[in-house]
């Protein structure tokens, strides 16, 4: 069993949950009274930039994880 692969699965799961919380925060901000705050557009820009940056990094990590899973499956098949 590849423990590094298991660790990466757990880490990416955590990162996906973290990204989900950021997206939830953005929706909450957009559809609540937060919109009335004078600094709303700046806060919105910050959270959206954080989401995009996090998603870009996470996309690459997920691609590498899928490669690792494929490698482990091929090892199990042989």
Number of domains comprising the chain? 1
Domain that holds residue 60: 3-77
Report residue 34 as tokens.
């937060």
Q: In this predicted structure, what is the pLDDT of residue 46?
A: 96
Reported as a single tens digit per residue, the pLDDT across 31-74 is 999 889 899 999 999 999 999 999 999 999 999 999 999 999 99
pTM of the model: 0.83
37 — alpha (psi -120 to 50), left (phi > 0) or beta?
A: beta
Contact present, 68 and 9 (Cβ < 8 Å): no
Contacts (Cβ under 8 Å, ≥6 apart) of 24: none
pLDDT higher than 80, residue 1: no
The DSSP-derived string for 17-57 is HHHHHHHHHHHHHHTSGGGGSTTHHHHHHHHHHHHHHHHHH
């Amino acid at each position: 069993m590849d423990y590094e692969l298991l660790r990466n699965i757990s880490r990416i799961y955590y990162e996906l949950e973290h990204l989900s919380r950021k997206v939830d925060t953005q929706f909450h901000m957009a559809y609540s009274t937060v919109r009335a705050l004078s600094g709303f557009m700046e806060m919105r820009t910050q959270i959206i930039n954080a989401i995009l940056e996090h998603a870009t990094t996470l996309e690459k990590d997920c691609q590498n994880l899928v490669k690792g899973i494929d490698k482990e499956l091929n090892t199990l098949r042989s």
